[in-house]
Structure 1
Amino acid sequence: MKNNIIIVLAAFLVSAIAISGCKKNDYKNDGGKSNPYVNMTTYDYLKSNPQFDSLVKVIDRAGLKDVVNSNITFFATTNYSIVPYVAAKKNQVAIQTGNENFNFGIKDIPAQELSDSLKTYMFQGVINRDQITLDGKLYNSLLGPIPNVQYLIKFRRSFEYNSYLDHVDYVTYTKVRGTRDDQEPNQDAIPKDQKDLSDDVQTSGIITKTGVVHVLSGYHRLFFNAQPLGN
């Protein structure tokens, strides 16, 4: 009976994961990878997967290959996260220049800007599911201390599949601006520009030869960018 329940749940989750652009055979129902160990460096693992094509270009442009291959935990983004970010940056230039007819890509974004921003997805050492809790923990990223900003890594407990399991714990990556929203007595009183920004991880705990990778949901836009995409 237990095996039948797992099979039914896995089939249901495959549909949800496909919407996020994942390969169905690579994942299991707790958001982790079926076989968490990858006999490659983190950079080579990302480069071997087409869903990270744009991320690899960002890493190369930022000159962060060696950093990616160091002993870090990396919250990786898929192509779905990067395409709208690049579109927003192009739209920004179009507004500034009054010209919409030009080619624009990752190569046109300043390398230092990409480097600094990408480091906010990187954390020293191992932060895997064994180290993550429901209460969470605040971290400084590899970019270093940022005034009024830290990053919260925690579990978000979901009961949406309670017909099959008691709960599912999703890893979440949160940019905390000021105080933690989840600890404020009146969240409606938090100014919009101080609200925390958060997204779930769609695949957690990929262990490479050099570090740990968590893959953010395809709904996440790179760097939590909220600029308009244009017409």
Structure 2
Amino acid sequence: MNFNKKNTGKILLGFLMLCLAFTACKKDKGRYDFVNEVNVYDGDVYAYLKGQKQFDSLTKAIDRVPGFKDWMTQEQNLTVFALTNRSFEVAFIGLNKVRAAQNKSPLGIATIDVSHLEILMDRYVVKGKLTTDSLKFADGAFLRTARLDYEMNAVDKSSNASGLVNGGPKSIIYSDVKNSQYTKDWISTTTQAVNIHSKNAIVHIIAASHEFGFGEFVNRMNR
């Protein structure tokens, strides 16, 4: 009887250790199997932006610039760094605070200088369809804007999931290089979502804390 109990205990212990090892392997495999899902929109980039309330200000700005909307629906190879409503709100708060101190009336998207609006809007649309995988260079990729051929820089700054290089959340640092080779002169922002595919463009969504215009909005619009 003692012999049977002893052997039964060993069998149970061995079975328990096997279960624990199997569970650990499953958990470890889960970490290594992390996959970044890619969002796909079955339409052009303007339709994608128009369909989401967080881009209301952006689409109003696009509609304001002559030809910009039609161009965004027809051009086939674009990367758009999309601005949320908050980016415009921050810019207009700063502008109208300055104007109030100068006894000037407040401005909105419908009343700002459209030529300067086009210049600043151009900074957020670059040539080619560029996902984060296209930006894995130490110094980032130097890009040209799609309408005015202005130089920008983008670098992939994706974090690492446990056990998988570049397997964690994706992020881009996007910079206006201000026509300078020195990074100290650049003005940069980050993304809050990346790699959204529309039919004619890749969309990366700029962090809401970014002020539209890369530091130039007030000076350009306070006329």
Same fold judged by TM-score > 0.5? yes
Cα distance per residue 1:37-96 (max 9 Å; x no partner): 101211111011111111111111123112222221111110111101122222333333
Corresponding residue for residue 55 of structure 1: 58
Amino acid aligned to 2:136: T
Q: Secondary structure at the match of 2:117?
A: helix
Do 2:31 and 2:162's aligned partners in 1 also have CA atoms closer than 8 Å?
Answer: no
Are residue 81 (structure 1) and residue 83 (structure 2) matched? no
Larger Rg: 2
Normalising to structure 2: TM-score of the pair? Answer: 0.71
Corresponding residue for residue 156 of structure 1: 157
> How many Å separate the matches in 2 of 1:61 and 1:92?
23
Corresponding residue for residue 175 of structure 1: 176
Amino acid aligned to 1:38: Y
Corresponding residue for residue 198 of structure 2: 208
For structure 1, which runs of at least 5 residues remain unmatched after alignment?
Answer: 10-28, 182-189
Structure 1 stretches (4+) deviating beyond 6 angstroms? Answer: none
> How many Å separate the matches in 1 of 2:72 and 2:99?
29
Cα distance, 1:3 vs structure 2: 7.1
Cα distance, 1:35 vs structure 2: 4.1
Do 2:123 and 2:176's aligned partners in 1 also have CA atoms closer than 8 Å?
Answer: no
Cα distance 1:214–1:157, how it changes in 2: closer, same or farther (>3 A)? closer
> How many Å separate the matches in 2 of 1:93 and 1:3?
58
Normalising to structure 1: TM-score of the pair? Answer: 0.69
Cα distance, 1:220 vs structure 2: 1.1
Are residue 90 (structure 1) and residue 96 (structure 2) matched? yes
Corresponding residue for residue 120 of structure 2: 117
Give the number of equivalent residue pairs: 185
Corresponding residue for residue 12 of structure 2: none
Amino acid aligned to 1:129: T
Corresponding residue for residue 44 of structure 1: 47
- Greater RCO (Cα-Cα under 8 Å, separation 6 or more): 1
Do 1:68 and 1:74's aligned partners in 2 also have CA atoms closer than 8 Å?
Answer: no
For structure 2, which runs of at least 5 residues remain unmatched after alignment?
Answer: 1-26
